[in-house]
């Protein structure tokens, strides 16, 4: 029953115009900031670790803005998943590096899109599917009943969704060999530590368990790697999608070197609009040598 109520609520939110949804997000974000909760605590810890140069006041200001942006992302998601994909793409402006995906596709090597948890990245999935056949890697949710909603929502614009399994990774290789697009969340923490799954590399100067999948795909296929993020514009003016070239050495044979490059690319995106990053994600929960998680205690 609970899952049905969630689905009904999502469908109801999908009917609301964007200005209303974002105003609701501001209110919900204010509550997130005023009332102690896990998301607030995690975001405060992550901001403290990643921006030690900021004053206490600056960190709190970033936290407050971030919780509002996170709430907007949460409330916008039903419209992105259940609404019309063409309408969402129509609200999308192209920003920096808009020509990079087309130029990369002309090289006939396949294109890896690295899209961090930044801004309205769900909207970007629909746009990518308009450029070329797109295969998107996703991690199945803990609640299996939500999986069909996620898959149908993200594939609404024509993208193909594949899970983080051996079959899903194989599908990524096959798509790249066909000179197609594949999209991966490069800042998602791997489930395992190991040179074939994830290694520790600096992220904002703090060690983070980092995937090696992007490195392996780029090294074995010669695919071009491009970063992207979708900036949420103020006053419900829509979204702006930016593309950035990948840092050097992302396809380095040494997975430690490549993972550090992968994180530098994510950092470059995040520093452009840090208030829209998903700081409530427990990015540093796994520590080197079994050290204590910063989120405990």
Per-domain residue ranges of the chain: 85-290
Over the stretch 18-56, which tens digit does the pLDDT of each residue have?
999 999 999 999 999 999 999 999 999 999 999 999 999
Over the stretch 224-236, which tens digit does the pLDDT of each residue have?
999 999 999 999 9
> For residue 15, what is the DSSP state?
T
Over the stretch 49-81, which tens digit does the pLDDT of each residue have?
999 999 999 999 999 999 999 999 999 988 888
Lowest-confidence pick of 13-27, 240-254, 271-285: 13-27
DSSP per position, 188-219: SPPSS-BTTTEEEEEETTEEEEEE-HHHHHHH
Question: How many helices and strands in the chain, by DSSP H and E?
Answer: 11, 9
User: How many Cβ atoms sit within 10 Å of the Cβ of residue 224?
Assistant: 21
CA distance 232 to 56: 26
Q: Are 85 and 130 in contact (CB under 8 A)?
A: no
How do 224-232 and 239-245 pair as beta strands? antiparallel
How do 134-138 and 181-184 pair as beta strands? parallel
Mean pLDDT of 149-164: 86
**Structure confidence at residue 264 as a pLDDT band (50, 70, 90):** very high
**Structure confidence at residue 145 as a pLDDT band (50, 70, 90):** low
Q: Are 180 and 159 in contact (CB under 8 A)?
A: no
Residue 214 CB partners (closer than 8 Å, separation 6+): 112, 114, 184, 186, 225, 250, 258, 262
Best CA proximity match to 218, nearest among 244, 187, 255:
255
Quote the pLDDT of residue 94: 96
**Structure confidence at residue 2 as a pLDDT band (50, 70, 90):** low
- Bridge partners, residue 92, by sequence: 239
Q: Are 10 and 249 in contact (CB under 8 A)?
A: no
Quote the pLDDT of residue 15: 83
**Structure confidence at residue 1 as a pLDDT band (50, 70, 90):** low
| Conformational region of residue 185, where left means phi above 0, alpha means psi within -120 to 50, and beta covers everything else | beta
Quote the pLDDT of residue 4: 66
| Conformational region of residue 148, where left means phi above 0, alpha means psi within -120 to 50, and beta covers everything else | alpha
Q: Are 164 and 139 in contact (CB under 8 A)?
A: yes
């Amino acid at each position: 029953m609970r899952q049905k109520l969630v689905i009904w609520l999502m469908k109801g939110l999908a009917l609301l115009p964007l200005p209303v949804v974002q105003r609701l997000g501001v209110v919900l974000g204010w509550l997130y900031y005023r009332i102690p909760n896990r998301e607030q605590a995690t975001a405060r810890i992550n901001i403290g670790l990643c921006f030690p140069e900021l004053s206490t006041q600056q960190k709190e200001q970033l936290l407050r803005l971030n919780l509002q942006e996170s709430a907007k992302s949460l409330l916008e998601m039903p419209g992105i998943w259940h609404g019309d994909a063409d309408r969402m793409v129509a609200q999308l402006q192209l920003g920096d590096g808009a020509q990079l995906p087309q130029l990369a596709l002309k090289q006939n090597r396949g294109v890896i899109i690295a899209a961090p948890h930044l801004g309205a990245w769900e909207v970007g999935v629909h746009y990518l599917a308009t450029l070329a056949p797109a295969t998107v890697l996703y991690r199945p949710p803990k609640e299996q009943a939500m999986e069909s909603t996620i898959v149908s929502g993200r594939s609404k614009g024509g993208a193909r969704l594949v899970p983080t399994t051996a079959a899903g990774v194989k599908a990524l290789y096959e798509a790249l060999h066909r000179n197609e697009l594949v999209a991966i969340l490069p800042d998602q923490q791997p489930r395992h530590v190991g040179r074939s799954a994830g290694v520790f590399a600096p992220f904002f100067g703090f060690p983070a368990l980092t995937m090696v999948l992007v490195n392996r795909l780029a090294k074995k296929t010669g695919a071009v790697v491009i970063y992207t993020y979708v900036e949420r514009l103020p006053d419900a003016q829509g979204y702006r999608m930016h593309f950035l070239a990948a840092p050097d050495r992302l396809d380095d044979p040494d997975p430690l070197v490549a993972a550090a490059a992968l994180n530098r690319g994510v950092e470059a995106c995040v520093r452009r609009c840090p208030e829209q990053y998903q700081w409530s994600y427990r990015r540093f929960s796994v520590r080197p040598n079994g050290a204590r998680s910063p989120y405990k205690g």
